[in-house]
Structure 1
Amino acid sequence: MAPGAERMDGTLVSWKDSRGFGFIAPANGGDDVFVHISEFVDASRRPLSGESFTFEVGATPEGKIRARRVLAIGATLDDTPTPAKRALNLGLAGYLAVAAFAVLFALIATERDLPVWTIGLYVGTSILTFLVYADDKSAAASGRWRTPEGSLLALGLVGGWPGAVIAQRMLRHKTRKMSFQLAFWGTVALNITAFVAFSSPEFLDLVARLSQP
């Protein structure tokens, strides 16, 4: 099967939702075609094994055949939001959340004597979280062992969520799975709530008293 822009019909005969890939059996016969979640044009729902789609055949830089621009039967590229537009909207919202938290952090740090390690915690865990997301993205593409979602959520909960937001938007990773996104933003809310509580004057005074000899 040679790569080309001509659209073909096929059935999703296998799908590993946790890893975001599967195989489409072309309706006209031939070998099953690999498909990644990022190639489904409509990201409003997850694909299911047994569903029918139209797709284009493309190739990776290594020459491996894969499905491109996958659409449900009857849908067209004109009436389906493009991944670029969705990524722009989601990316803007995520970056705004990080920017708003940075402003909140700066205001609280200006008014109160926050420990120096606080900013180090957020910066350090954010860098670590970004690297973990990047490795998980690479693992998903190559079929290697994946980082458990619980670990990704835990990193965000302890302060790495700004790095997670940037990684999700820049790498287009973990943005399509609604259950993960709901859990992720729940951990963000918990982290911000904890930050506000722990940076209150009462808590900081308690820490200062306990740290005195």
Structure 2
Amino acid sequence: MNLKQIPLGPLQANCYLLFNEKKECVIFDPGFDGERLIEYMKQEGFKPIAVLLTHAHFDHIGAVEEVRNHWGIPVYIHELEKDWLMDPSLNGSARYPMEPISGRPADHLFTKEEKVEIGPFTLELLETPGHSPGSLSYYIKEMGSVFSGDALFSGGIGRTDLPGGDHATLIESIHQKLFTLPDDTVVFPGHGLSTTIETEKTSNPYLV
């Protein structure tokens, strides 16, 4: 499997394309710039099969409708945030001077931690709330990688002052879910550069 990281939108939220040798791919967090993202994927010959969301804050979902409509692919999200795609007051877009983000419900709701198969991809779901109540991290054992959304960053953690956020819950999520992964696991966060579990265990000022 291969990976392409594409920062999108004014907050440069990381969209990730996870793809195989056939260019079949899943799209993590298509945040903004839907037209540019679609054009790039068409030029590169990607064949998307699903949109996977780590959570439903506006900077991670702004291009969901454009991507879903263009390819006719399903969207997956945690059930605790099932209403956020439709509600600007929940996804946060109503609090900023921008066009409110409101789309259709997700096609599939994750309800528990489990191993899921989406096309040729196998992912393990880790519930990592704290930044938001339905935050998910996606662990891919064969790649030694985890997509942590806005739970864990290189040298940082997600903010917890938004509705549904809780600092103690986030710290517990990181220690009990992410820090139990192998130390050499590569962390692909929702913003910024990648890191490793070992690096964050030993040097993240919020966690050591």
Bin of the TM-score, shorter chain as denominator length: under 0.3
Alignment TM-score, normalising by the size of structure 1: 0.22
Alignment TM-score, normalising by the size of structure 2: 0.23
Q: Structure 1 or 2: larger strand share?
A: 2
Q: Structure 1 or 2: larger helix share?
A: 1
Greater radius of gyration (CA): 1
